Amino acid sequence: MKYDVVVVGGRISGSIASLYASKQDVNVLMIEKNQEIGTPVQCAGGVTRSFFETLQMKPPQKLICSEIEGAILHAPDGEKFLTKNSLLQGYILERKMLDKALAIKSAEAGTDIMLKAQVKDLIIEKGQVKGVIVRHQGKLLEIPSKIVIGADGVESQVARMAGLHNGHNPQDLISCAQYEMVGLDIDPEILEFYFGFNKAPGGYVWIFPKGENRANVGLGVRYGANSAIYYLNKFISHLKGKIVELNVGGVPIGGPLKKTYSHGVLLTGDAAGHVDPVTGGGMHLSAVCSSLAGKIAAEAVINENLSSSYLSRYEKEWKKRIGKNLQRSLKYRALFDNMDDEELNSLIKFLNTNDFKSLSTLSILKLAREYPKLFLVLKNIL
Ligand SMILES: Cc1cc2nc3c(=O)[nH]c(=O)nc-3n(C[C@H](O)[C@H](O)[C@H](O)COP(=O)(O)OP(=O)(O)OC[C@H]3O[C@@H](n4cnc5c(N)ncnc54)[C@H](O)[C@@H]3O)c2cc1C
């Protein structure tokens, strides 16, 4: 076995990266440690329309559970704010089917897929990555490759082995738990978010509809004495509905890694920290970065240049596309981190009583007059 490109991780980022590499006529292998692509699910399935636009795909109807028109934000004191901002409009997808559909597309483009195979190490010669060592069916195999793409998620071993990351600061990891539930009383076109220290300390609760009475109900937490599942059980105790699936997982919300490439290696998706620090959403960013990773890896092979300096164009390119948004989102996260329940109540009240399309000078003055504490928090961040 010998490949031009080896992709470690076979979910959304790995499938997109391998698809875009295979489209360019190089030999690609995607390695996944689980026996099935897409499970266990670690996602609520929410994507903006930009996801499919980036991949130049029509949204496949069979993957769409709900089309989303807006969202309700629930303040800790119970006040609600309904928004139909176009940025929120999109889909709730059946995530395990999406990952499988992308893997199938990738295989059809030429990618070989190796399942139940865990990458244990990188082959490194004179500082250049030259392949991977894999445990598969009880054996350790050496698989040489010209380039390795780490799409192996939040706990990326490729990032560690390539010396690009040492693990996340606990403040930058959000721990999530989610139930898929049926028999719920929900609006199938509206997302719901609940905020408050007693509900989800350091995070938020989401209800993402998957049709008329079905939804992913989940939350992420960063502080507090109890686990995500404790808070989730507490939250759903007031809902009428039955649980049909449990999903758990961590999300990196500290922003992108300082460096996402090295000699013969690229990182993408959660492995690279390509996740929105406020929402914890990673799929739309994976569409941008993983397609670039696959394309640039193949170009490096074709141009016979696998050096770190050639591969740096990957980071330049993804920064050009999403770098500013991620930096802005990090600032917003710092803002939310500094807000207590009282300030969150003020914010939702403010959103309800003002046209918040843009923070005009007038609205800033109004904010300073009516909600001085909230204004001070905003002023320190913006
Ligand atoms: C509960 C929850 C809800 C979320 N909801 C949303 C949402 O609604 N919208 C959104 O956009 N984002 C959401 N996210 C974030 C989103 O799921 C991630 O950003 C996205 O899944 C990242 O995809 P990935 O392919 O980079 O990594 P992963 O999905 O983590 O895939 C990595 C893959 O690599 C494999 N792997 C790991 N190590 C190895 C190894 N050594 N050898 C071989 N294979 C390996 C793993 O088995 C896994 O299949 C959510 C996350 C969680 C936890």
Q: Whose CA is nearest to atom 3 of ligand 1?
A: 43
Are residues 28 and 113 both part of a single domain?
Answer: yes
DSSP string, 334-350: HHHHT--HHHHHHHHHH
Are residues 260 and 134 both part of a single domain?
Answer: yes
* 370: exposed, middle or buried (Cβ count in 10 Å: 0-12, 13-18, 19+): middle
Q: How far apart are CA 372 and CA 346, in angstroms?
A: 10
Counting atoms of ligand 1 from 1, which one is nearest the CA of 51?
Answer: 11
Name residue 82's amino acid: L
How far is ligand 1, taken at its centre, from the CA of residue 12, in Å? 7
What is the greatest pairwise CA distance in the chain?
68
Are residues 276 and 238 both part of a single domain?
Answer: no
The helix-helix angle for 372-381 and 361-370 (nearest 10°) equals 130
Are residues 317 and 182 both part of a single domain?
Answer: no
Which pLDDT value is given to residue 87?
A: 80
Which pLDDT value is given to residue 364?
A: 63
Q: What is the pTM of this model?
A: 0.94
Place of tokens 């005009």: 360
Say if CB 352 and CB 207 are below 8 A apart: no
102 within ligand 1 shell (Cβ under 6 A): no
Are residues 102 and 39 both part of a single domain?
Answer: yes
Within-domain flag for 271: yes
Domain encompassing residue 375:
338-381
Which H or E run contains 252? strand 242-252
How far is ligand 1, taken at its centre, from the CA of residue 161, in Å? 19
Within-domain flag for 63: no
Which pLDDT value is given to residue 335?
A: 80
User: Which among 1, 256, 13, 263 is positioned nearest to 148, based on CA atoms?
Assistant: 263
User: Which among 199, 336, 196 is positioned nearest to 277, based on CA atoms?
Assistant: 336
Are residues 210 and 348 both part of a single domain?
Answer: no
User: Residues of the chain whose pLDDT is less than 70?
Assistant: 354-368, 370-382
Cα separations in angstroms, 29 against 35, 97, 366: 15, 21, 57
Which H or E run contains 369? helix 361-370
Pocket probe mutation, ligand 1, options 33, 121, 205, 268, max atoms within 8 Å of Cβ: 33
User: Which among 298, 296, 293 is positioned nearest to 269, based on CA atoms?
Assistant: 293
Total number of domains constituting the chain: 3
Are residues 179 and 159 both part of a single domain?
Answer: no
Are residues 229 and 177 both part of a single domain?
Answer: yes
Are residues 132 and 202 both part of a single domain?
Answer: no
Are residues 203 and 114 both part of a single domain?
Answer: no
152 within ligand 1 shell (Cβ under 6 A): yes
Are residues 213 and 231 both part of a single domain?
Answer: yes
Handedness of CA 138, 140, 143, 148 (dihedral sign): positive
How far is ligand 1, taken at its centre, from the CA of residue 183, in Å? 28
Backbone angles phi, psi at 277, to 5 degrees: -65, -20
Which H or E run contains 217? strand 215-221
Within-domain flag for 72: no
Are residues 315 and 181 both part of a single domain?
Answer: no
Which pLDDT value is given to residue 360?
A: 57
- Assign residue 308 the CATH number of its domain: 3.50.50.60
How far is ligand 1, taken at its centre, from the CA of residue 347, in Å? 32
